[in-house]
């Protein structure tokens, strides 16, 4: 995922691509919403692993929607994205309103590591979320700002909500495909 782009038409969210609807962009969350988002991040590595369990190479190399990434690319993309989340969170906690670095996610998904076995990124996500979740859980000032060069200034609440949604969003793309295919 990238931070929200206000130029993107919000009314266009085809359900196969956006099974959970658009990414949330709240600037402030309630304590219950934060707890739910943290639980989603805690659960994500196991849920993504379960979503791809039992797929052979043909299943892993099936696009989750016409013209979309393969299941394998989706798994590696979640690792790409959440590595950036960890860096963005730590920058926001240690610098004054840092400008984060966007990246070309569709080009990253074409690099050779996105052809590896999904287990590589599933193991990476296990370790990464073991580090990411306690950093989020230790936040005391959820209004701390960070800035995306295209979409502007956001808060740590936004960052938490975005990535909690992001993991569930891609997991649901895979489970939705498997439901449609009966695989
Ligand atoms: Ni994404």
> How much distance in Å is there from the Cα of 69 to the middle of ligand 1?
10
Q: Six-digit token pair at 42? A: 């805690």
What lies within 8 Å, CB to CB, of 151 at 6+ separation is 3, 4, 5, 6
Distance from the alpha carbon of residue 133 to the mean position of ligand 1, in angstroms = 19
Q: Domain 31-181 in CATH: superfamily?
A: dinb family like domain (1.20.120.450)
pLDDT given at position 25: 87
Residue 107 CA to ligand 1 centre (angstroms): 13
137 alpha carbon to ligand 1 midpoint, in Å?
22
Helices (H), the chain: 31-52, 57-60, 71-94, 105-108, 118-137, 156-181
Residue 30 CA to ligand 1 centre (angstroms): 24
C-alpha distances (whole Å) from 120 to each of 71, 78, 79, 131, 149 are: 14, 12, 10, 17, 31
Q: Minimal CA–CA distance to 40: which of 156, 139, 170, 144?
A: 170
Report the separation in Å between the CA atom of 178 and the middle of ligand 1, taken as the mean of its atom positions.
Answer: 19
Quote the ligand 1 centre to 52 CA distance (angstroms).
17
pLDDT attached to residue 1: 43
- The pLDDT, as a whole number, for residue 182 is 95
Residue 79 and residue 129: Cα distance in Å, rounded? 10
Compute the distance from residue 18 Cα to the ligand 1 centre, in Å: 10
pLDDT 10s per residue in the chain (183 long)? 444 555 455 557 888 999 998 898 889 999 999 999 999 999 999 999 999 999 999 999 999 999 999 999 999 999 999 999 999 999 999 999 999 999 999 999 999 999 999 999 999 999 999 999 999 999 999 999 999 999 999 999 999 999 999 999 999 999 999 999 999
Let me know: does 125 contact 44? Beta carbons within 8 Å: yes
How far, in Å, is the centroid of ligand 1 from the Cα of 113?
Answer: 17
């Amino acid at each position: 995922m990238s931070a929200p782009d206000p130029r993107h038409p919000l009314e266009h969210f085809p359900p196969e691509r956006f099974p959970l609807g658009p990414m949330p962009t709240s600037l402030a969350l309630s304590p219950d919403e934060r707890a739910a988002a943290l639980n989603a991040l805690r659960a994500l590595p196991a849920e993504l692993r379960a979503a791809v369990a039992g797929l052979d190479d043909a299943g892993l190399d099936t696009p989750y929607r016409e013209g979309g990434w393969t299941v394998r690319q989706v798994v590696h993309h979640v690792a790409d994205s959440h590595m950036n989340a960890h860096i963005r969170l730590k920058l926001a906690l240690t610098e004054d309103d840092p400008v984060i670095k966007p990246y070309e996610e569709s080009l990253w998904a074409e690099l050779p590591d996105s052809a590896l076995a999904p287990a590589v990124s599933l193991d990476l996500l296990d370790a990464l979320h073991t580090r990411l979740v306690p950093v989020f859980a230790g936040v005391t000032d959820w209004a701390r700002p960070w800035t995306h060069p295209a979409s502007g200034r956001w808060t740590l609440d936004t960052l938490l909500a975005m990535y909690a949604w992001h993991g569930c969003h891609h997991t649901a793309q895979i489970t939705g495909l498997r439901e449609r295919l009966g695989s």
